[in-house]
Amino acid sequence: MSGGTAVVTGGSSGLGLVTARRLVETGRSVVLVGREATRTRAAADSLRGPVPAGGDAAPPTTYTADPEQWSQVRALAAELAAAGRPVDILLNNAGAAFPRYERTPDGVERAYALNHHAPFLLTHALLAEGVLAREARIINMSSFVEKRGRLDAADPDVAGTSWGKRLYHQVNVYATSELVSLLAARELARRLPEGMSLYNADPGMGRGTAMNSNAGGLMRLTAPLFRPFAVTPDEGARTPVWLATASPAPSPSGGFFSESRPDTPSGRALDDALARTVYTRTAALLGVEPLTR
């Protein structure tokens, strides 16, 4: 897979920016999505140097959107559609954990909105707009921490609001938001049009990114303890870049990958019946038409 356009959310710094740089170096046209316009434009300017000479890649472009708000995710999809460029790689990189229970303007828990709803909604909106190329690759950043997810299989909460009525443990909430995202992605991969692929990429425990510092709370306090085991953004970018560029497309679609190879997530993340339930409930919550295949 060479050339084409890659959209990277959370692309203004850290792992997202490093991944975008690697994609630019392979000749892709990169679109950065960030929360702050000035910072995102500065990040795009920093990518102009690595563009290979003599290639046909377009200069990096930017869009501004807050992925915690459904309306802004929908608006982003509409803007990308209006640009008229097929998207060959969609890298849903934006993610975070939060130290306390908070709801977004849409009435859902923040970590769920960012880590689960945003990639689900953006992917479906781009599919509905016909923006994704026929052999597009969708890559959701994931985490081995999903093994700590606390999900009621009989009645899975896809909005995260149940955490307002039980002990809000930052790591467990983050882990569960990643688990529901994995489950929804598993079912979505089964429903995607022929030729498209979806992957869940675990970059490892990142060093030098905004994840832990922005999270605050327990994750920020304990981050120094795990620093010896952490990877740099360059190391963390290897798996998503490999998934985006490897030829032929890696297998399996819908799988969980780390260190540029298939890995095994938690047993609950492999539950097909639960994946169907999480997918259909998420689609209903977001007002998305479920894919059928």
The amino acid at 231:
V
186-212 tens-digit pLDDT: 999 999 999 999 999 999 975 444 445
The listed range with the strongest mean pLDDT (54-68, 176-190, 223-237) is 176-190
Phi, psi of 58 (to 5 degrees): -75, 155
144 band by pLDDT with thresholds 50, 70 and 90: very high
Instruction: Locate the DSSP E strands across the chain.
Output: 5-9, 29-34, 61-64, 87-92, 132-141, 197-202, 256-258, 261-263
271-281 tens-digit pLDDT: 999 999 999 99
- Cα angle for residues 196, 141, 157 (degrees, 5° grid): 95
For range 61-84, the mean pLDDT: 97
183 band by pLDDT with thresholds 50, 70 and 90: very high
The residue ranking higher by pLDDT, 214 or 81, is 81
pLDDT for residue 220 is more than 80: no
pLDDT for residue 83 is more than 70: yes
